Amino acid sequence: MTTDNLSPAGGPGGTARPGNGAAPESRIHDIGYRGYDGPRLGRSYARRSLFAQSLRGAFGLGRSARSKIVPVLITCVLTLPAVIAVAVTMMSGADQLPMTYVEYTAGFEMVITLFLAAQAPQAVSLDLRYRTMPLYFSRPIETSDYVRAKYLATACAVLVLTALPQAVLYVGALLAKLDFADQTTAFAEGLAGAAVLALLYSGIGLVVAALTPRRGFGVAAVIAVMMLSFAAVSTLQVAADFNDAKGAVPWLGLFSPSTLIYGLQHAFLGAGAPFPGNAGPSTAQGLVYLLAVAALIAGSYGLLIRRYRKAGL
């Protein structure tokens, strides 16, 4: 007779109760499901959340303990020399840090590559492998939101990784009473270099990692691409330098991400000459480097957008 609207129907199975002896009717009872009509936080919130989650995931926060090992280890390995340098400076009372800020990232490109290799696939391959992409795109966020969030998160992660030791150097330098203005400019230069490095490396790392849903291959591919390009370029540079083709050396440096960063830092941020034979790009060549870096970053972004638009699943 009556269908209960808000309270669960009495009896198991919730059948209706006809008053007569006819066969029981079927009915579905409204047990209180209500749609949500309230305010929604919108696209930018979703983007920011994705960014935050990816960034935290890059350092293993919000994940299992095992996924914290590699990022924490690498962060420590990278920060330790800075700590030591500061200690040495303070104890020996020198008026200069044993290494400059910009040099710091240059010396550790292998370690940074390892971090990138471990975390870039973590950011993108898992979504591809477990086919969660449709879950993302059936929400208000667009392809560009996803790509931007992931790219920025990975870049920020690399930036944190490289900026942390530089910050340690800076604080230590100030504590050791080194010249404030000098140190601040140098720190700023170092951060600038680190920022460009972060953007460049993340772009390349993500493009390579997004090629395969298998995380292991992604790791391998990133390491291979970064290391082999560096090996190839430096081999060629050594050969060129050895054989009186010294003019070619700075131009060869355009062909690998690490040498691009080294070259940029030398041309604009006052780092030492990075290439064999004490060569480095002049300011003019440095502009070409800058263009190349910008092109690579833009290209990576574009490729990622294309990739996710096509394989949105």
User: For residues 267, 272, 276 and 282, what is the CA-based torsion angle, rounded to 10 degrees?
Assistant: 20
- Closer residue to another protein (CB): 179 or 277: 277
Q: Interface residues for another protein in 205-234 (CB under 8 A)?
A: 214, 216-217, 219-221, 223-224, 227-228, 231-232
For another protein, the closer of residues 58 and 222 by Cβ is 222
How far apart, in Å, do the first and last CA atoms of the chain sit? 49
**Whole-number minimum distance, CB 186 to another protein, in Å?**
29
- Taking the least distance from each CB to another protein, the nearer of 3 and 184 is 3
Other CB atoms within a 10 A radius of the CB of residue 9 amount to: 17
Residue 9 found at the interface with another protein (CB under 8 A): no
Binding status of residue 110 toward another protein by CB under 8 A: yes
Q: What are phi and psi of 244, to 5 degrees?
A: 60, 30
Residues 6+ apart with CB under 8 A from 293: 196, 200, 260, 261, 264
Residue 291 in contact with another protein, rule: CB under 8 A: no
Calculate the CA dihedral of residues 107, 109, 112, 117 and round it to 10 degrees. Answer: -160
Question: What's the min distance (Å) between Cβ of 231 and another protein?
Answer: 6
Q: Does 180 bind another protein (CB under 8 A)?
A: no
Angle between helices 143-175 and 109-129 (to 10 degrees): 150
What are the CA-CA distances from residue 301 to residues 33, 153, 200, 289, 297 (Å)?
Answer: 43, 13, 10, 18, 6
Which residue type is seen at 301?
Answer: Y
Instruction: Examine residue 8 and tell whether it contacts another protein (CB under 8 A).
Output: no
The pair of structure tokens assigned to 139 is 């929400």
User: Rule CB under 8 A: is residue 17 a binding residue for another protein?
Assistant: yes
Q: Is 29 in the site for another protein (CB under 8 A)?
A: no
Indicate the residue among 248 and 290 with the shorter CB distance to another protein: 248
Residues interacting with another protein, by CB under 8 A?
A: 11, 15, 17-18, 21-22, 24, 110, 214, 216-217, 219-221, 223-224, 227-228, 231-232, 235-236, 238-240, 242-243, 245, 248
